Amino acid sequence: MKIVLLYGGQSAEHDISIISAFNISQEIMLDVYSVLPVYITRKGVWLKGPLMEKPLEDASQLKFEQAFVESWAEQPGDISTGVVINPGDIKDKDTVVFPVLHGPNGEDGTVQGLLEVLNLPYVGAGVTASATGMDKIISKQLFDKAGLPQVPYIAFVKREWLEDQEALIQKIEGSLLYPLFVKPANMGSSVGISRVESSEDLKEAIQTALKFDRRIVIEQGITAYECEVAILGNEDPHASVVGMLVKDSDFYDYDEKYINNTVKMQIPAELDPSVSLTIQDYALKAYQAIDGSGLSRADFFVTANNDVYINELNTMPGFTPYSMYPCLWNETGLSTRDLIEELIQLALKRYEMRQALKNQ
């Protein structure tokens, strides 16, 4: 069976996707599967690499040179680096796609829709769950309906901001208390997110968030620990042990999380056992609320009084060696190698179930 490892992409999380794909390529059973790397450049060009016969030595081997892409039409030259393909060219018999893509145009249901049209089995959530999990506003509404506690928030669209900024500021400050967190509705990894303490900072933060999305969510900040739990499964999902982010600041941006790597993980989290059980229960309810399948990572806030609030659900969490998702399962007793195999089998089971429904 062939595994198409799809990675890169046009989102701000492009580089994290490459590292995740490299980690997966190190752990996947190359004696069982033939693995085909397909790299999506920042400009949206799809490049097919050679079949992997052995683990790669470095993540840079997965990042085909953009200069090669741009000169391809004029100078075909050496094709060993990669071949430009159309997205539909990945369709083949006995193929499972592993879309290791984070953020817009990858994790938001767009690529999942393409794979549905191509009628290919793929790892992870379907179109609806991917789009819902990526959209902070819609997921919050579903969490509300499922009865899951959340911090107070306000959502709005760019049109409302342009029509009357002062009125919107008054509405926000009349409903929420500083500090506030301003977020684009459809970004991940803290991209475009700001922590603000005043009206002046709020305006600037909204302008920053609007560079990434036309829909914005603003959450009231609370003093709390940030805890995360991994979910695995389709119809009968399971939750891992709970982990905690140990940090020195109230907010860590993209650079601190992924480049400087200053956020440390405490696995398992040093919490009251009843709080960990609550987090796991809420995580599974949130997963089912968005109709999740395959995998997700659920993020929570836990206060000193042991109040638990769900923050968000990530349907294609990072898969780097230091990402919380694989580390949580390692601590739970499932190695990364076995985790990848389970995800492939879950993809096949979900595909077979959908095919059976189509053929009724």
Question: Would you list which residues are annotated within the binding site for ATP?
Answer: 136, 181-183, 189-190, 219-226, 311-312
- 190, 182 in Cβ contact below 8 A? no
Whole-angstrom distance, CA of residue 194 vs CA of residue 204: 9
**Single-letter amino acid code for the residue at 31:** D
Sheet bearing 294-302, strands edge to edge: 264-266, 238-246, 225-233, 294-302, 308-314
Strands 2-8 and 34-40: parallel
Closest CA to 244 of 219, 264, 223: 264
- Is the preceding peptide bond at 268 cis, omega within 30 degrees of 0? yes
* Phi, psi (degrees; rounded to nearest 5) at 317: -70, 165
Binding residues for Mg(2+): 299, 312, 314
- E strands, the chain, are 2-8, 34-40, 46-48, 83-85, 95-100, 153-157, 180-184, 194-196, 215-220, 225-233, 238-246, 264-266, 294-302, 308-314
- 293, 354 in Cβ contact below 8 A? no
Whole-angstrom distance, CA of residue 181 vs CA of residue 251: 9
Closest CA to 183 of 151, 137, 249: 137
- 279, 273 in Cβ contact below 8 A? no
Q: Which amino acids are annotated catalytic? A: 13, 189, 323
Sheet bearing 153-157, strands edge to edge: 153-157, 215-220, 180-184, 194-196
Binding residues: 136, 181-183, 189-190, 219-226, 299, 311-312, 314
